[in-house]
Amino acid sequence: MSQIEARLHVLSLWQKSVIALAIGMSSTFALPPYNAIPVLIISYTGLIFLLNGCGRKYHAAVIGWCFGYGQFVVGLYWIANALLIDPVQFAWIVPFAILGLPALLAMFSSLATLLTVCVPVGCVARPLTLAIAWTGVEWLRGHMLSGFPWNLIGYAWTASDEMLQFTSLVGIHGLGFVTVLVAATPAILTRVEFGWRRLIPGALILISLVAIWSGGNLRISEQSVTEFNNVQLRIVQGNIKQHHKWRDELRQLQFERYLTLSSNPGNSTATHIIWPETALPFALKNKKINTQIGSLAGLDGAVITGVIHTVANTAGPPTVWNSLQAIGHNGRLLASYHKKRLVPFGEYLPFRSLLTLLGLTKVTTGAVDFTAGQGSPFVTVRGLPTFTAIICYEAIFPHHTHDSEETSQWLLNITNDAWFGDSSGPHQHFAMARVRAIEQGKALVRAANTGISAIVDPYGRVQQRLDLGEYGVIDGKLPRPLDRRPFYARWGDSTALLFIMVTTIILLLSSGEWRKHSAP
Catalytic residue among 16, 54, 123, 339: 339
Please state which of the ranges 8-12, 227-231, 473-477, 504-508 shows the lowest mean pLDDT: 504-508
- Rounded Cα distance, 319 and 344, in Å: 17
Catalytic residue among 54, 66, 123, 277: 277
Q: DSSP labels for 313-331?
A: ETTEEEEEEEEEEEEETTS
H-helix or E-strand spanning residue 335: strand 333-338
- Rounded Cα distance, 335 and 282, in Å: 18
pLDDT for 70: 96
More confident residue, 371 or 24: 24
> Is the confidence at residue 311, as pLDDT, over 90?
no
Of 300, 302, 261, 308, which Cα lies nearest the Cα of 280? 308
> Is the confidence at residue 135, as pLDDT, over 50?
yes
Mean pLDDT for 438-453 is 94
Of 376, 53, 332, 39, which Cα lies nearest the Cα of 186? 39
What value does the mean pLDDT of the chain take? 85
Catalytic, 339? Answer: yes
| pLDDT band for position 517 (cuts 50, 70, 90) | very low
> Is the confidence at residue 364, as pLDDT, over 70?
no
pLDDT for 431: 96
pLDDT, tens digit (0-9, with 9 covering 90-100), for 413-445: 999 988 888 899 999 999 999 999 999 999 999
Mean pLDDT for 363-374 is 74
Rg (the chain; Cα; Å)? 24
Catalytic, 392? Answer: yes
Please state which of the ranges 361-375, 377-391, 469-483 shows the lowest mean pLDDT: 361-375
> Is the confidence at residue 141, as pLDDT, over 90?
yes
**Torsion sign across C-alpha atoms 288, 293, 295, 301:** negative
| pLDDT band for position 224 (cuts 50, 70, 90) | confident
pLDDT, tens digit (0-9, with 9 covering 90-100), for 337-350: 999 888 877 777 66
pLDDT for 519: 47
> Is the confidence at residue 333, as pLDDT, over 60?
yes
Catalytic residue among 16, 362, 392, 513: 392
pLDDT for 494: 85
Cα end-to-end span (Å), the chain: 7
State pTM to two decimals: 0.89
| pLDDT band for position 508 (cuts 50, 70, 90) | low
- Rounded Cα distance, 303 and 274, in Å: 6
> Is the confidence at residue 373, as pLDDT, over 90?
no
pLDDT for 299: 80
Please state which of the ranges 61-70, 254-263, 309-318, 319-328 shows the lowest mean pLDDT: 309-318
Cβ proximity of 308 and 322 under 8 Å: yes
Mean pLDDT for 515-519 is 46
